Amino acid sequence: MTNSKTYKQRFDFYWKSIVIYIVVLIGYGLIRMVVGREEMGVLSHDPVFILLTLFITGSLLMYLHKLFWVRTLVIDSNSITMKNRFDETKFDASNIERLYLGKERPFQSRETFRVIKLTVANKKRKIRIRPHNYWDDKQLFDDITTVKNNIKK
């Protein structure tokens, strides 16, 4: 791996959940209006209607938040860089004390659900990278495995 590869964070979960909540809200509203013969004004004060509206609003806000930050992960042959819209943090081979690839669990069908823990000098907490949160997660896991083999101490 001679050049760096960039992996963007995936957040398709948010728009999928927004669509599901909207379909449930429309279905609930139609059932209440047809079966219950209620008007839209009365329906807007219904607790289930309000709860579904809050779920839609919360999911939409989280989706916009993720879009705004634009988090990416850049993997080089001997460094890992975490970038967002405002900041960039680079972890070189000299700074990385330990790179732990999580164990594969028996119930997992994909190895990308494994958590990668990065122990860095001058930091108390470990940095966790979840490959399944990024596009092309299998290639990301392979690239991090290559970085681990390159920085082995």
Q: What phi, psi does 128 have (nearest 5°)? A: -105, 130
pLDDT tens, residue order, the chain (153 aa): 458 899 999 988 888 999 999 999 999 988 888 887 777 777 788 899 999 999 999 999 999 999 999 899 999 988 899 999 999 999 998 889 899 988 776 665 655 578 899 999 888 999 999 988 899 988 998 899 888 888 866
DSSP run (H or E) holding 48 = helix 47-69
Specify the pLDDT at position 1. Answer: 47
- In the prediction, which pLDDT does 108 show? 58
- For 107, phi then psi, to 5°, come to -85, -10
127 contact partners, CB below 8 Å, separation of at least 6? 82, 91, 117, 118, 119, 120
What integer pLDDT is reported at residue 94 of this predicted model? 87
Could you tell me the strand order of the sheet in which 116-120 lies? 96-101, 116-120, 127-129
The pLDDT of residue 138 is 87
